[in-house]
A and B are shown apart, each in its own frame.
Chain A
Amino acid sequence: MKYPDWWAAILCALLVSGAIGCRRWLPTTSYLQPRSDSVSRRSTRDARERFDHQLHRKALRAKGIACIDCHSFALRIETDDEDLAKTLSAYALHPRSAACHSCHLPGQQKMFAAPRQCLSCHRNLWPLLPDDHRAGWQTAHAVASHADTERCQDCHHQQECVDCHARRDTLDTRVHERGFRFFHSIEAWANPMQCSSCHRADFCIQCHRLSGVRGAG
């Protein structure tokens, strides 16, 4: 059975553009609910909304932390507009992220039992993405992770290192797509150092010498 070479590419391109273009007109049912307001902004508001006084009551009491330690009552609001006063009051009373991070930020020692993983409170991680992670990070992270392991562990478990560096995933491709084997020699000749960041030389030998695959052309 012979298929045209480009049919898969064209089909996929159509599906991708169709899904992106029609996303606003997809039907809304009990399952197809569009994103809610609470997660549709580029903010960390989701973490604030997750805070639960009941869950923290015992720990705060044990450490002698009072309401005033997090909430500021010192603001004086002078306005005749009752609605504005309510809004300002609520805003002023709302603790900033420093109140949470004083215990939960990785590296803090004030309360040993406080969870320090970002995902304990945050669901929307994009606002938390450090600036240096946005360009060239996959290449640069090797040196950075050696130099400051603690910084990585602020957000990542060590298991995530294993997941990328040591997981042989043959069905759900992660690092190289399936076609990589057909042009990997071009990449390897361009930058052999890149290959050695994950593979040892005997990995090449396995196919090229011991299984009879021809040389490195």
Chain B
Amino acid sequence: MGLPRRFVLGWAAVLVLRAGELHALEFSGAALVNSQLREREGAAAIEAPTNAYGALIGTNVHHGIGGETYFRLERDWSRADGASDFYLGFARLPLRGFELSLGRQVLDELPGALYVVDAGRLRFDRGGPVGFSLFGGQPRYFEPLQGAELVSQDEQMFGGSARLRWVALGQVVVSFAQLQRQQRRLNQLGSATWSHTFRHLRSQPQAYALAAYDSAERNVQQVTTGVGLLPHPRVFARIEGSYYRPSSRSPAALPGLDRFVDPLFSLISASSLQQARCGVQYRWRETVWWSADYGLQAFEDSNGQSITGNRGSVGLVWLPEGDGLEIVRSEFGVTDSRGGSLFALRAYYENRVYQRILFRTKMEVGRFDKITNEQDIVVTSRVGVAYELAPGFLMEVNVEGNRSPRFDYEFRLGAFLTYNLHYRDGWQAPSLERPVLRYPGGWAG
């Protein structure tokens, strides 16, 4: 990992050298070191995974120059081969009303495999009625949660977008992006997004719509339209409908699948999915919200059979005293699909009322009944207490107790160190007093 280290140090050196001529400088960032001792049924030894994360955002560094960095380092101290590193960083350079962003990603996932890719964007958007951007390079999905690293990483993406804001009709963004792998075109997506709030109407409907068309596959990939309403000062409702037909189903996009026998392909190739969902939230008191939502999905599998799925949930958010220093969230959800049925109860409590101390706990209990005749109960729970060692510097000790079909028991003892920085011209905001802005229940989860 010599390259990202040099890149980080170089970027830091630029910032330090510029520090003498800073004005209206603003920095925010975070550094986290999370460690756990993990013991579970059947494991030969106690495992000791450790993750480190870091992010730094600089704004208005000398004539509007700014930048953002992010890295993740993973290591399991109980195993010699458990290392994985990821680094991302980009700089923003103002150029006569334009903004040029240049970024680099580095992934060191497999032994001997180091991927380094670059991308750039030119943007003109000063908040007026018109804005546009052009971008090109290699896409940002190196974090392996999005795609498998065993698929070729030789991908390129380029395109552009234009934004037009008209007070009477709302805002429209039109964009185009082409993605290709090893010189083969995977998709060529044109999309248009529109949003507008009708403030003159009584319930102030907030309407939005998205349409995406893949010209390479001649496929309407997605159409989504919805509206959010305030029919009553205490009630917020949202209705949404979607049509979805993924076009990335070519052999180039999905290698390694036997399309005739693999049931997974039926799921991935879900065609002509139609979805209707609605949600409502009711402010019972100033500090208590109830929410409920329901979604119905219908799609065809690769054999042309129609499949439906239902998801619904009810949720509660309670803010004792109403200041966000204490948060109670609870949700009960039901899912019924071809894969089986699931009942899940989730609860979360957070308390930062006492100075320099944060207490939080969460639990999820899920009972599932799969089509494969597997039935079981999954329990996940965590209790953590954090102490603010210095402004923005938190140390949390937490305990996890989990139960699953695979492990009758699993314990984790964790130590999480977090440093949150928000610096602006000599003023530093203490982070513990900042309430965490999380979305209340329902779809928001």
Interface residues of B in 279-323 (CB under 8 A from A): 279-281, 286-287, 289, 291, 293, 295, 297, 299, 307, 309-311, 319-323
Q: How far is the CB of A153 from chain B (nearest CB, A)?
A: 10
Q: Which of B140, B264, B362, B409 has the most CB of A within 10 A?
A: B264
CB-CB under 8 A for A146 and B210, given A159-B55, A171-B34: yes
A170 touching B51 by the CB < 8 A rule? yes
Q: How far is the CB of B32 from chain A (nearest CB, A)?
A: 8
Interface residues of B in 130-166 (CB under 8 A from A): 140-141, 143-148, 150-151
The complex places the Cα of A197 from the Cα of B256 at a distance, in Å, of 22
CB-CB under 8 A for A136 and B443, given A167-B143, A191-B295, A209-B256: yes
The complex places the Cα of A168 from the Cα of B322 at a distance, in Å, of 33
Of A69-77, A93-101, A200-208, the one with at least 4 CB within 8 A of chain B: A200-208
The reply to whether the CB of A32 lies closer than 8 angstroms to some CB of chain B is yes
B267 contacts which of A133, A142, A192 (Cβ < 8 Å)? A192
Inter-chain residue pair count (beta carbon < 8 A)? 378
B143 touching A168 by the CB < 8 A rule? yes
The complex places the Cα of A172 from the Cα of B325 at a distance, in Å, of 21
Q: How far is the CB of B292 from chain A (nearest CB, A)?
A: 9
The complex places the Cα of A64 from the Cα of B228 at a distance, in Å, of 43
Across-interface contacts of B32 in A (CB, < 8 A):
172
Nearest B residue to A46, CB-CB: B433
CB-CB under 8 A for A182 and B368, given A134-B289, A170-B51, A202-B254: yes
Across-interface contacts of B253 in A (CB, < 8 A):
201-202
The complex places the Cα of A90 from the Cα of B126 at a distance, in Å, of 38
Number of interface residues of A (CB under 8 A): 101
Of B3-11, B111-119, B336-344, the one with at least 4 CB within 8 A of chain A: B336-344
The complex places the Cα of A92 from the Cα of B228 at a distance, in Å, of 37
Q: Which of A5, A11, A112, A170 has the most CB of B within 10 A?
A: A170
Across-interface contacts of A41 in B (CB, < 8 A):
322-323
B297 touching A8 by the CB < 8 A rule? no
Interface residues of B in 335-388 (CB under 8 A from A): 335-342, 346-347, 349, 351, 353-357, 359, 361-366, 368, 370-372, 376-383
A39 touching B325 by the CB < 8 A rule? yes
Q: How far is the CB of A159 from chain B (nearest CB, A)?
A: 5
Nearest B residue to A7, CB-CB: B401
The reply to whether the CB of A26 lies closer than 8 angstroms to some CB of chain B is yes
22 pairs across A/B with beta carbons < 8 Å? A12-B361, A23-B353, A35-B321, A123-B433, A125-B437, A136-B228, A140-B240, A159-B55, A162-B88, A167-B143, A168-B144, A170-B74, A171-B416, A182-B376, A186-B337, A186-B339, A201-B268, A203-B146, A204-B268, A216-B263, A217-B263, A217-B370
